[in-house]
Amino acid sequence: MAEHSFPPLKNDLLLRAARGETVERPPIWVMRQAGRYLPEYHEAKAGRDFFECCRSPEIASTLTLQPIERFGGLIDAAIIFSDILVIPQAMGMTVEMVDKKGPHFPDPLQTPQDKQYIELMERHVDVAKELDYVYKAITLTRKKLDGRVPLFGFTGAPWTLLCYMVEGGGTKLFKQVKTWIYKYPEETKALLQKISELCVEYLALQVKAGAQIVQVFDSWAGELSPSSFKKFSQPYLAYIAKHLPLRLKELGLEQVPMVVFPKGAWYALDACADMGYQVIGMDWLHHPAEAVKIIGDRPVVLQGNADPGVLYGSHESITEVVTEMVKGFGWAERKKGWIVNLGHGITPFVNPDDLKFFFQEIHRLTKTD
């Protein structure tokens, strides 16, 4: 059994929907809902380094709760304030968050002959110890949430983490990682497997700390061709989906719904539906009605998928996009199988009031009389 006792959950809508149940309205949350578009985020961050905020359970929990406080009653989940790159940090790599530029690895992996690669593969990584601050933040947040909504834990997917570890940060070319997969495929797979095992343990310990649902972010999945996705992403996403439930069982913990988000890999929707995840996050390049057809009668819930850019637009545009989604996901007929989200995280400079309008329109256009 979990060692923490938490207040009972008052709003379990998202968890019921994630399990494929028929629900009274589609649950809503959005990626990056806790973050820089909120003025209160900058106030709470108070000039601290991004990773310093992640490592402080008190600050991380405060930031996690901000959208729940601001949009009270409109959203149905919180997601712990953290970053996917805490796994490479736990593996011994240095990651800095550079203002206006994003994450930066001063010493990325060069080649498998590299001393750093060999050390990385040989090193025993204790994610219980190295990422203890994340679990503390989750436990504290669950208590502060007081059962208002469920709490998401998450990890980066092995392929996406590998991209950052060899590119040294964000990129448009993906030159280094493409060199790795096409020049050193076996060494690449060995590293991906190691990352996968760490992701399983990391997610299991997040659940132990109080996470009630988990998401695997494969943010760079769309950089792979369909055949490369089958070699360098799919097996490792499937490994997590298979082994996380086994690890939770070993720890005497209840199973939680698992979400996979293979951004940009529209061609992989069919394969993802057979991986063992209960929910598939979709970006805005998918047509909802087509996605519903591809899933067919498989017990998989879809999450998404408004273009985050619509939040820069007029309220009329937001209403139009919401209307299209409600129709495309067949909400009126199905009353299940959909968790509302954007097709990626909220982009900078969005006015929080426009996001609030997006939430309100979802409620208005899906409510049952």
pLDDT digits (tens, 9 = 90+) for 329-368: 999 999 999 999 999 999 999 999 999 999 999 999 998 7
Q: Which regions of 157-312 does DSSP assign to beta strands (E)?
A: 213-218, 258-262, 279-281, 301-306
Let me know if residue 28 belongs to a domain: yes
Task: Dump pLDDT digits (tens) for 64-82.
Answer: 999 999 999 999 999 999 9
User: Cα–chain-centroid distance for residue 138?
Assistant: 15
**Across the 369 residues of the chain, what is the mean pLDDT of every consecutive 10-residue run?**
81 98 98 97 95 98 98 97 98 94 96 96 98 98 98 98 97 97 98 98 98 98 98 98 98 98 98 98 98 98 98 98 98 97 97 98 90
* 347 occurs within a structural domain: yes
* Whole-structure pTM value: 0.98
CATH of the domain at 354: 3.20.20.210
In a domain, 111, yes or no: yes
**Phi/psi at 87 (nearest 5 deg)?**
-70, -50
CA separation for the pair 39, 352 (Å, rounded): 9
- What pLDDT, on a 0 to 100 scale, did the predictor assign at position 2? 46
Exposure of 96 in the CB half-sphere (CA atoms within 13 A) = 9
The Cα–Cα gap between 264 and 281 comes to 11
316 exposure class (CB count in 10 Å sphere: 0-12, 13-18, 19+)? exposed
Q: Where in the sequence is the domain holding 348, given as residue range(s)? A: 13-365
How many domains would you assign to the chain? 1
- Domain assignment present for residue 3? The answer is no
Please report the pLDDT score of residue 146 as a whole number.
98
Residue range 73-106, pLDDT digits in tens? 999 999 999 999 999 999 999 999 998 889 999 9
7 domain residue, yes or no: no
6 located within any domain: no
| 3 CB neighbour count, 10 Å cutoff | 7
Is 301 a member of any domain?
A: yes
The answer to whether residue 136 is domain-embedded is: yes
Residue 337 region, left (φ>0) first, then alpha (ψ -120 to 50), else beta?
Answer: left
